[in-house]
Amino acid sequence: MTSIKCPALAFQGQYGLPLSEIDEEGNAIRDLIEQGALFVSNHSGGKDSQAMLIRLLEIVPAGQMVVVHASLGDMEWPGAMELAQEQADAAGLPFIVARASKTLLEMVARRFENRPEVPSWPSASTRQCTSDLKRGPIQREVRRYAKANGFKVIVNCLGLRAAESPGRAKRRTFSKMGISNSVSTWYEWLPIHKLLTPDVFRAIDADGQMPHYAYSLGNDRLSCVFCIMGSRGDLRNGAARHPELLAEYDALERHTGYTMHMSRIPLMELSS
Ligand code: SF4
């Protein structure tokens, strides 16, 4: 029988992954834990973030963890930030909220004012919404937290999974990030990359937690109520629960003359 020494290996080993595939990554994670690196649990309030945090807590000492949520304001499902905070609080972890200087709708309106000749909304290939509203603010807040608490090595943990899309399936599960500099070294780690959706819900249930209520409405994903890549079902759920927000998106689609969703079908039509 194979002996598993590294806690990261023990965690991934639960899901029957060949140890040869995860040895290198597991060893790197073990070294980073021993070095006292800061593990950042990115938490959208969605099921994948929730399951990832449950698993990280089995591996990483609480004193080396922080939970961070990028607030999307009125654009995100109500309760998402609260769920992330409650999970962090229950585990005794620090919780940081990263806020952008503008909302997604403000970003779109400004882009239209500056360059009306190009599509005003983010697209799957040019996701300024992710970079400007989530990634940038999160990195800024994490740098601040790491500096204040003496961490020089940061492991940015994301709950992305291979089963979500071909693009995500190709992502490396552990890598050094280009934003590393002379002050801090950053790594990116995808601890639940190989989990399937039922594994995610099982992990949440086994820990005695509940996922966000939008999943019980039938949502596949959670973050913005109306995502540029959202499924019809998710958009319909969002429209039924948040008609005022739908009206704001619709008004901006009409004002800019561009559609929000990557299908290029107007949101009103998609969500009806
Ligand atoms: S949930 Fe969708 S629309 Fe919202 S920031 Fe993420 S990719 Fe952009």
- Find the helix or strand (DSSP H, E) in which 70 lies: strand 65-71
CA gap 157, 189 in Å, rounded: 5
Give me the chain's average pLDDT, please.
92
Lowest mean pLDDT among 26-35, 86-95, 119-128: 119-128
- Nearest atom in ligand 1 to 221's CA: 1
Q: Which domains does the chain have, with CATH numbers?
A: 7-214 (3.40.50.620)
pLDDT, tens digit, 9 for 90 and up, residues 3-21: 334 444 454 444 444 444 5
Query: Closest by alpha carbon to 230, among 193, 262, 269, 252?
Result: 262
Whether residue 223 contacts residue 193, with contact meaning beta carbons closer than 8 Å, is answered with no
The answer to pTM > 0.85 is yes
Ligand 1 center from residue 34 Cα (angstroms): 35
Q: Is 129 in the pocket of ligand 1 (CB under 6 A)?
A: yes
Ligand 1 center from residue 183 Cα (angstroms): 30
- Find the helix or strand (DSSP H, E) in which 31 lies: helix 19-35
pLDDT, tens digit, 9 for 90 and up, residues 152-201: 999 999 999 999 999 999 999 999 999 999 999 999 999 999 999 999 99
